[in-house]
Amino acid sequence: MIAQVIVDVPVSRTNRPFDYRVPGWLSPLIHVGSRVVVPFGPRKLQGYVIGITEDDGPEEALHRLKDVEQVMDDTPPLTPELLKMSEWMSRQYLCPWVTAVQAMLPAVLKGKAQKWLTASDLLDEETCSRSGLLWELYRKRQLPLAEVEKQFPDEFMLVPGWIHSGLLSTEYQVRDRITKKQQSFVRSLLTPQQLSESLASLSARAEQMRRVLEVFLQHPEQSFSVQTMRDEFGINRSALKGLEAKGWIAIEQVEIYRDPYANRRFQEKQKPDFTPLQLQALEPIITSIKESSYASYLLHGVTGSGKTEVYLEAIEHTLMKGREAIFLVPEISLTPQMVERFKARFGADVAVLHSALSQGERYDEWRKIIRKEVKVVVGARSAIFAPFENVGLIVIDEEHESSYKQEETPRYHAREVALWRAKENNAVLLMGSATPALETYALATRGRYKLLKMPDRVGNRPMPQVHVVDMREELHSENRSMFSRLLHEMIADRLKKQEQMVIFLNRRGFSTFVMCRSCGYTMRCVHCDISLTYHKSNHTARCHYCGYTIPQPSHCPECQSEHIRFFGTGTQKVEAELAKLFPGIRVIRMDVDTTSRKGSHEELLSKFRQGQGDVLLGTQMIAKGLDFPRVTLAGIIAADTSLHLPDFRAAEKTFQLLTQVGGRAGRHELEGDVVIQTYTPEHYSIQHATRHDYPAFYEDEMLQRRRTGYPPYFRLVLITFSHEEVPVVVRGAHVMGDFLRQKVAQTTILLGPVASPIARVKDRFRFQIMLKYRDEPNVAELLAQATAVFEEWNKQQKVLMTIDVDPYVLL
DNA sequence: GCAATCTCTCAA
DNA sequence: TGAGAGATTGCG
């Protein structure tokens, strides 16, 4: 038996399967998709089995192979589908296969190969008394080499000599970080009859023991955790120990799941009556689900139109069909509210995956999926890799969100992966948004996705009234405050009526940079080509690319002026202003500072829900998916900060943001207002957002994209190079650029190589090539060839190159 | 990606 | 000639 294995060395040189012999004793354990430990060169590494051949071929060829050393799991973590998907990803996104595989698995499964120092039998008490390190090794037998270097720097240089003399040896070990949470459970070993008899035989003073037996009499065949015994029945540990000693009960360690929602009850909500629009949207979806054939839908529904109910219903039909469902939400809107809705509807059938989970919790949720204990997965981007084997429905909520694009290798887009997976499984793909990505909407208008529309809110509630305030006029009227007179007035009004409001600060593009007012000097990072960001909490200026931090200076380093300060509006500043203008106003501020602690996000929102605040103030994180009945005003402090970014999606993102924030107001009985403050009220993305007119925005924006040659008209590939020296990085970029220029189609535009907009990061200079194409039969193959050419050249250099297919961030 | 191995340089 | 550094190669 021979196993084909890809090893955990994510470089192109080793990006291919290696053959290993499977020793007889491992053959029942090993499967395609298994994690294994294999010897690789002088080391040992973790790898994944991508194929197994029973036929060994000629004897002498077999002889040259090494053995698989270990199979790491009983059941392989990779299903055949995931394996196929990872191969597709590695081709599609130009990344090593093993990198794609690892993106699909929980982080604790990534094995770490370490070199260990082991004591041999020659090391006796006599020898080791001479040195601290040897003594330590004599006691513990082995230590990781890295640890040794840290703890015994003085003796580290003696290690090679000791190895040579046979006192010590080195050895590679691969370990993953799987841990399983255990809890003590108590179980009765007696029959009910024996229980009664034993109860009678107990001394009158054994009150606690008596109670334990009574509990078991009342609940035969049940076991209880030690914790429950204590908390619910008031029985302490010693009583249990006593009974265990008598042999009447057993205390056992049982593996349990780390469930972040363990102590929460979820109320089952009555299914609402569907509106005609919802029914109309549901009909074709349900038909497709029943047919179990591939179909894709774009559900374009305004905020408050009840998209979530449609999703839930579709999931229910999928489960009725005996298939599984994946529900993707943007990281940011994976709120407790959302989880609650799912838990209430599908109970224990749901696994939840998001970034706030600890690695262990994440692993436990994942195990529920692979063990087929759940039927539905709710999660952020990476939940698209849920190891189901019969996926019938994939829902992508807020389909336009940029968090679906991963910004590290593998640079995949969850929407694309979902599309592949839906086709592979004859499943239904359902994408929903109030403001679809242009790419998606364009495909929908061309029939690639079926377009479903829900243009009205549930219960015929009106869309909120949107007021646009021209901040230039405010300035002319001597209003220098960050609040316009209208917004000011409306805040006062809501305070009087005791209604709630959401105030949104558009921070995209706002850098809180540090500048000298007298000479114009701005503080920049010494390693990167960007300004430092001011951090109020510890009065430092910090580079958010490399982490370089210096204390905020009191004088300008250039001209010694004292007028050096930070610029930009922060949430703290808005909060202070609100407190000044409206004494007694209760503001709940949500930003990185107040939500960094685990669970604090949830805490603040529930405070607001309970009415412990008048204003919810925050950045992007409050724009999405929140639903509070008493919110009747949404204020946007500066709508256009994101409009003038050097990003071809700037207008689209602004439109989306305004629409989403506006959607927070007046979702229930009370009607809502939205105030948009801007310096460019005439801009089409602001104008169309005001009228809730997505199609009009789409038309205008498509014209821009056609004119400038951006998606959806052209598709992009961004190739970035970096190196410490400019001439080297330029040469590298040209090697690849020249090759591509020869090979691309006539209609393809190749820009560069040019310096990247952020030309230096961490002391490395960056250059880039942009590929814009419309009709390129096989981009992936072309890029793979170019990569090979580049890597041949790069053998002598150390230029780093990354390829971003359909990039979101162009910096 | 890492470590063994090969190749080249330089000083004794 | 041998050590040491730097580049190259192979990993099944």
- DSSP string of A278-309? HHHHHHHHHHHHHHT--EEEEEEE-TTS-HHH
Q: Is the CB of A795 under 7 A from strand B?
A: no
Q: Does one domain contain both A520 and A616? A: no
- CATH code of the domain covering residue A773: 3.30.70.360
Q: How far apart are CA A762 and CA A526, in angstroms?
A: 9
Mean pLDDT, all residues of chain A: 88
- Which nucleotides of strand B come closer than 7 angstroms to any CB of the protein? 1-4
CA of residue A156 to C1' of nucleotide B7, angstroms:
29
Domain boundary among A640, A673, A705: A705
- Helix, strand, or coil (residue A184): strand
Nucleotides of C under 7 A from a protein CB: 7-12
Q: Which residue has the higher pLDDT, A565 or A240?
A: A240
- Whole domain around residue A219: which residue ranges? 182-255
| pLDDT per position as a tens digit, A73-108 | 999 999 999 999 999 999 999 999 999 999 999 999
- pLDDT > 70 in chain A, percent: 96
CATH of the domain at A45: 3.40.1440.60
A531: tokens are 């300004």
Of A102, A139, A132, A98, the closest CA to residue A118 belongs to A139
- Predicted confidence (pLDDT) at residue A48 exceeds the cutoff of 90: yes
CB atoms within 10 A of CB A490: 20
Report the footprint of strand C: residues with C-beta closer than 7 angstroms: A 9, 13-14, 17-21, 38-41, 64-66, 795-796
Band of pLDDT at residue A208, cut at 50, 70 and 90: confident
Give yes or no for a contact between A574 and A617, defined as CB atoms under 8 angstroms apart.
Answer: yes
CA of A16: how far to CAs of A22, A329, A357, A628, in Å? Answer: 19, 34, 33, 53
Mean pLDDT of the region A349-357: 86
What nucleotide is nearest A64 when CA is compared to C1'?
C12
A42: nt with nearest C1' to CA: B3
* Secondary structure element (H or E) that encloses residue A578, with its range: helix A571-581
* 3-state SS class at A652: helix
Chain centroid offset of residue A523 CA = 32
Please name the amino acid found at residue A607: K
Q: How far: A164 CA to C2 C1' (Å)?
A: 21
Q: What is the C-alpha separation between A15 and A98, in angstroms, rounded?
A: 8
Residue range A200-214: mean pLDDT, rounded: 81
DSSP string covering A653-675, please? Answer: HHHHHHHHHHTTSS-SSS--EEE
pLDDT at A509: 47
Closest nucleotide to the alpha carbon of A796, via C1': C7
Average pLDDT for residues A572-585, to the nearest whole number? 88
For residue A567, the model assigns a pLDDT of 61
Nearest of A506, A511, A505 to residue A525 by alpha carbon: A511
Residue A268 lies in a domain: no
Torsion of CA A330, A335, A336, A342, to 10 degrees: -40
Q: What is the mean pLDDT of residues A144-163?
A: 79
Give the end of a domain, one of A424, A441, A458.
Answer: A458
End residue of a domain, out of A443, A458, A473: A458
Q: Are residues A673 and A785 in the same domain?
A: no
> Is residue A270 a part of any domain in this protein?
no
| Same structural domain, A296 and A390 | yes
More confident residue, A275 or A211: A275
- β-pairing, A18-21 with A2-7? antiparallel
Look at residue A261 and tell me if it is in a domain.
no
In this structure, are A63 and A125 located in the same domain? no
With respect to residue A405, please indicate whether it lies within any of the assigned structural domains: yes
pTM (predicted TM-score): 0.88
pLDDT band at A537 (very low <50, low <70, confident <90, very high): low
Number of H helices, E strands in chain A: 27, 34
Query: So what's the pLDDT on residue A171?
Result: 84
**Is A420 a member of any domain?**
yes
The reported pLDDT for the residue numbered A267 is 72
Q: What distance lies between CA A754 and its chain's CA centroid?
A: 31
The per-residue pLDDT for range A128-152, each reduced to its tens digit, is 766 788 888 888 888 888 888 777 8
Pair (A589, A447) in one structural domain? no
Residues 6+ apart with CB under 8 A from A628: A500, A502, A608, A609, A616, A664, A667
Residues A152 and A224 in one domain: no
What tens digit of pLDDT does each residue of A579-612 get?
999 999 999 988 766 766 767 777 888 888 898 9
User: Which pLDDT does position A213 carry in this prediction?
Assistant: 84
Beta strands at A324-328 and A376-379: parallel, antiparallel or unpaired: parallel
Residues A549 and A640 in one domain: no
Q: What band does A410 get if pLDDT is binned at 50, 70 and 90?
A: very high
If one counts the domains in chain A, the total is: 7
Same domain, A336 and A417: yes
User: Helical H runs in A76-130?
Assistant: 80-92, 97-104, 125-128
The alpha helices in A709-752, defined as continuous H runs, are 726-743
Q: What is the mean pLDDT of residues A176-180?
A: 82
**Residue A800 CA to C9 C1' — how many Å?**
20
What is the per-residue pLDDT for A14? Answer: 92
> Tell me, what's the pLDDT at A406?
96
List, for residues A604-648, the tens digit of each pLDDT value: 888 888 989 999 988 877 766 577 888 899 999 888 877 877 788
Residue A641: which CATH number?
3.40.50.300
- Nearest nucleotide by C1' position to the A8 CA atom: B1
pLDDT tens digits along A223-256? 888 878 887 777 878 888 888 888 888 888 888 8
With pLDDT > 90 as the criterion, what percentage of chain A qualifies? Answer: 49
Cα gap A619→A622, rounded to integer Å: 6
**Closest nucleotide C1' to the C-alpha of A3:** C12
Residues A494 and A589 in one domain: yes
* Whether A115 CB is under 7 Å from strand B: yes
Q: What is the SS3 assignment for A386-451? A: CCCCCEEEEEEECCCCHHHECCCCCCCEHHHHHHHHHHHHCCEEEEEECCCCHHHHHHHHCCCCEE
Residue A330 belongs to a domain: yes
> Greater confidence, A219 or A533?
A219
A128 labelled binding-site residue: no
A721 and A801 inside one domain: yes
Q: Is residue A267 part of a domain?
A: no
One-letter amino acid for residue A252 of the chain: E
Any strand B atom closer than 7 Å to A130 CB:
no
Q: Indicate whether A492 pLDDT > 90.
A: yes
Q: Would A684 be classed as within a structural domain?
A: yes
A225 shares a domain with A349: no
Average pLDDT for A470-481 = 86
A481 vs A489: CA distance, rounded Å: 13
Which among A205, A192, A203, A204 is positioned nearest to A248, based on CA atoms? A192
Is A95 labelled a binding residue? Answer: no
- CB of A40 lies under 7 Å from some atom of strand B: yes
How many CB atoms sit inside 10 A of residue A433's CB?
Answer: 24
Q: Picking from A312-316, A591-595, A681-685, which range would have the lowest pLDDT averaged per residue?
A: A591-595
Same domain, A93 and A129: no
